Amino acid sequence: MSKKIPKRRRREKKTDYSKRLKLLKSGDLRLVVRNSLNNIRAQIVKWEKDGDMVLEQSESKDLEEFGWKGHRSNIPAAYLTGYLIGKRGVSEDIKRCILDIGLQKNTKESKLYATVKGVIDAGIEVPVGEKMLPSEDRLKGKHIEEYASKMKEGEKNEHFSSLIGKGLDPENVTKNFDETKEKIDEVE
């Protein structure tokens, strides 16, 4: 029965077993990052004979506890999610992990690498090429502010209605980012 599961997961393109085996053979902890349309999840996972064990986890919806009012699935949220799990990992004496992207595309400066940058900035070593990481302005949401400042007021209200509904002016995303990061530093 157990042999059918890997075949099914391979056939459904849910797991790349050769890639997974290489990661497991390394013996390192893995930083597993998964994105959806409205959330980002990061986990630090340890392989054990009985199955994977999640040592630490954070999701972008956790950021609301720290004052984040922005969208939960953009680059600043990805960075803060990585920063949060990184702080949690450092408090548990985790020093290093390797990136496990699963079947996601390896795209330069993506949400995936924004999350990794947050983990690195929190103090955990993750081997990754520097050119893959987004710029500091992009991590803080400067690109969102610039886009919002170019829009007319009516367009801005329509396009950023969810942010405005939460009390966040889209032209103040970097300020909200800095405040949220400070609160993560205080608690974790």
Q: Write the pLDDT tens digit of every residue in 103-114.
A: 677 889 999 999
Share of the chain above pLDDT 70, in %: 85
Report the CATH number of the 10-187 domain: 3.30.420.100
Q: What's the order of all strands across the beta sheet hosting 40-48?
A: 51-59, 40-48, 30-35, 98-100
What pLDDT sits at residue 1?
45
- Exposure string for 74-107, b = 16+ CB within 10 A, e = fewer: bbbbbbbbbbbbbbbbbeeebeebebbbeeeeee
Bridge partners of 44?
Answer: 31, 56
Local confidence band at 15 (pLDDT 50, 70, 90 cut-offs): low
pTM of the model: 0.86
What are the structural domain ranges in the chain?
10-187
Question: What pLDDT is attached to residue 14?
Answer: 61
Of 72, 75, 78, 69, the C-alpha closest to 168 is 69
